[in-house]
Amino acid sequence: MTIKTNGAGDAQIVALPAPKKSIGDSALGTAYSQFDRAAQILELDTGLADSLRSCQRELTVNFPVKMRDGSIRRFTGYRLHHNSARGPTKGGIRYSPHVTLDEVRALSMWMTWKCAVVNIPYGGAKGGVICDPKQLNIHELEGITRRYTTEISILLSPDGDIPAPDMGTNAQTMAWIMDTYSMHKGHAVPAIVTGKPINIGGSAGRLEATGRGVMFTVREAFRAMGWNFEGARVAVQGFGNVGSITATTAHEMGCKVVAVSDVEGGLYNSRGINMPRLTQWNKEHNTIKGFDGADAISNSELLAVKCDVLAPAAMENQITSQTAASVRARMVAEGANGPTTPEGDAILSDKGVVVIPDILCNAGGVVVSYFEWVQSLQQLFWEEDDINSRLEKIMIRSYHDVKAKAESLKLDMRTAAQVLGIGRVADATMTRGLYP
């Protein structure tokens, strides 16, 4: 089903058509393809598989916002719960002109499997608003956020659905969501979101968690493969929160960051990019473009850089049937969700490229979100060293859980991660039983 509301917040339930079985190279098509393969390996009951393949709840909202020039503009947003068998739903909210309902469906599905792979008690959710945050001032962003929060508040609660930042949103966005929800309740509810500022109950280490988790997993994979991690050449596509922290953490761990990119293009230096200088440049100019410590390259050229680790940390569908053949990395570590299509996967496999799949590799963010949620509920806060130690332990354990599944069933790492995560959700569903 879907729940639609009008501008006044009145809700009505509307039947949705059954999901299409194949939708090309879209994120949802990739998510369905991955699920179907894992479900077949698990020999899931057909009805159970159909249930796990679909979102549990889908909310679409349309709401007006007063703009800087005094005009009124309508925005469309979504909040989806994919599955709550293992606990409250968890997932980010993205602001982008490219947000679609199908994209949010795919992202919420991946969140379910991701939480199960790292074995934290959450189900998957996702949300988004169709807008371009770069074209909006802070007052317009606040207005959009507060009205969107009000519209989706029928689904939110600290023990039911807990949002977090995603592409185009940040800690300030989470602060507005927390405040709006708290005003409706009449008291502060810090556990309603994660990724919020530390001074209102956020967690130390949350901002860096996804990028750190990527590199914790890469380092463990190198150890398992018997490869030398010190001095490993790393290329990172994307220089937002995930990409920039991945690159910085790689540098701090003793790797050589040879290429990075953002939406305006990339940089390459075979001797290694000076990450402290680049970070300062990006902070001052809000772009890596123009940095004088590397040569300019395109995003597509970055994918073809000769390196030990390629970390796509930007958008979905970057390594495809058209681009996978040019990849010259020994390992692909997926910092983004769904960066590799099934066709791209097949090509990487034929080339012998090791892939650390997204639902394992970039799970550090939701792990520390879980830590933040627990701290907010208890009002008892941990030191950052403790956060990082707990994160590293979970990422290492989860890597070996997936690796063991891959070896026992003779699967690639992506399929093994899907089998592990989907299997845990299926087991929880059957243990709880079906209501009524």
pLDDT at 355: 97
β 328-333/354-356 pair status? parallel
- Going from N- to C-terminal start, the domains of the chain cover 2-194, 209-356
- Percent of the chain residues past pLDDT 70, beyond the cut: 94
- Backbone phi and psi for residue 57, each to the nearest 5 degrees, phi listed first: -145, 145
Average of per-residue pLDDT across 134-144: 97
Return the beta strands (E) in 228-327 as ranges. Answer: 233-237, 256-262, 265-268, 295-297, 306-312
User: Domain 209-356 is classified in which CATH homologous superfamily?
Assistant: NAD(P)-binding Rossmann-like Domain (3.40.50.720)
Q: What's the pLDDT tens digit per position in 356-371?
A: 999 999 999 999 999 9
Average of per-residue pLDDT across 275-300: 94
Q: What's the pLDDT tens digit per position in 48-72?
A: 999 999 999 999 999 999 999 999 9
pLDDT-derived band of residue 9, with 50, 70 and 90 as boundaries? Answer: very low
Contact indicator for 238, 417 with CB cutoff of 8 Å: no
Return the beta strands (E) in 263-340 as ranges. Answer: 265-268, 295-297, 306-312, 328-333
CA–CA gap between residue 331 and residue 250 (Å, rounded): 14
CA–CA gap between residue 105 and residue 313 (Å, rounded): 20
pLDDT at 50: 97
Q: What's the pLDDT tens digit per position in 256-283?
A: 999 999 989 999 999 999 999 999 999 9
User: Domain 2-194 is classified in which CATH homologous superfamily?
Assistant: Leucine Dehydrogenase, chain A, domain 1 (3.40.50.10860)
Q: What's the pLDDT tens digit per position in 364-410?
A: 999 999 999 999 999 999 999 999 999 999 999 999 999 999 999 99
pLDDT at 94: 97
CA–CA gap between residue 260 and residue 347 (Å, rounded): 23
Average of per-residue pLDDT across 162-189: 97
- Single pTM value for the model: 0.91
Looking at residue 77, its amino acid is G
pLDDT-derived band of residue 153, with 50, 70 and 90 as boundaries? Answer: very high
Q: Residues with catalytic annotation?
A: 126
E strand or H helix that includes residue 107: helix 101-117
Let me know if the fold of 2-194 is the same as that of 209-356. Answer: yes
DSSP structure string for 109-161: HHHHHHHHHTT-S-EEEEEEEE--GGGS-HHHHHHHHHHHHHHHTTT-BTTTE
**Does the pLDDT value for residue 13 go beyond 70?**
no
Mean pLDDT over all residues of the chain? 93
- Backbone phi and psi for residue 32, each to the nearest 5 degrees, phi listed first: -65, -45
CA–CA gap between residue 220 and residue 361 (Å, rounded): 11
pLDDT-derived band of residue 25, with 50, 70 and 90 as boundaries? Answer: low
Beta-bridge partners for 261: 237, 266
- Percent of the chain residues past pLDDT 90, beyond the cut: 92
Q: What is the dihedral of CA 205, 90, 33, 39, to 10 degrees?
A: 110
pLDDT at 26: 87
Contact indicator for 65, 72 with CB cutoff of 8 Å: yes
**Does the pLDDT value for residue 14 go beyond 90?**
no
Q: How far apart are the first and last CA of the chain?
A: 18
